[in-house]
Amino acid sequence: MAFAGTTWLRAPVRDLAELADQVTADLLSWGAAPNLALFGHSMGAAIAFEVARRLQRQDRDPIWLFVSGRIAPDAPYSGRLHAGPDADLLADLQRPANDPASVAVLRAEPEPAELVLPPLRSDYRAVETYVFEPGERLRCPISALLGDADPTVTVEQAEAWRGHTDGEFAVTTFCGRHFYLDERVAEIAAHLAARLG
């Protein structure tokens, strides 16, 4: 960490496996957590999946994995936006946004863009360089969630998560785009609660 004024800054982690290692280590430091469920959206879904795999290898299986707005980890994916110009990165960010105008402001305002773009580019790099390593399937159930108008993942693509668990599996769609969860908080909370009992 570095200290800058009154704000603590952490250098962005640009590797998804490293992020999963850090999250797993933190969770393991909590001690016994027999009722741990994981939820991840978009990039977070891939991280949550990798964390679940690491926990299972430690015999600390999560009780449920919820993956949202993300293709399955072994699905073909190629992207090099993290290495391209800012304009391409912002255009891709604008595509799935519920309010594209909220992203467009970054094109016109250099100061917010200077704050947002470096960590955003690191996130893109983590996702675009992620390589799925085949291994043991999860024992816990997986629920795949997505918006019915999400331009980044289809129901058929979400169904491919089924191949990553020996447990229960289901796909559920909600009304909305990629960031449907911003507008469906109560529905999603009820969905999770119903499955977790």
Q: Between these two residues, 145 and 108, which has the higher pLDDT value?
A: 145
Residue 29 catalytic?
A: no
Question: Of these residues, 42, 68, 102, 143, which one is catalytic?
Answer: 42
For the chain, percent of residues with pLDDT exceeding 70: 79
| List of residues 6+ apart from 195 with CB closer than 8 A | 64, 141, 143
In the chain, what are the domain boundaries? 14-75, 79-134
- Give pTM, 2 decimals: 0.84
Q: Are 46 and 142 in contact (CB under 8 A)?
A: no
According to the model, what pLDDT value does residue 167 have? 97
Q: What is the mean pLDDT of residues 29-34?
A: 78
Q: Which two tokens stand for residue 136?
A: 């043991």
According to the model, what pLDDT value does residue 122 have? 83
Q: What is the mean pLDDT of residues 48-53?
A: 98
Q: Are 117 and 86 in contact (CB under 8 A)?
A: yes
By the 10 Å C-beta count (0-12 exposed, 13-18 middle, 19+ buried), 6 is classed as: exposed
Question: What is d(CA 99, CA 122) in angstroms, rounded to the nearest whole number?
Answer: 23
Q: What is the mean pLDDT of residues 42-57?
A: 96
DSSP classification of residue 173: E
Residue 5: pLDDT over 60? no
Question: What is d(CA 56, CA 141) in angstroms, rounded to the nearest whole number?
Answer: 13
| List of residues 6+ apart from 23 with CB closer than 8 A | 47, 51
Residue 74: pLDDT over 80? yes
According to the model, what pLDDT value does residue 45 have? 97
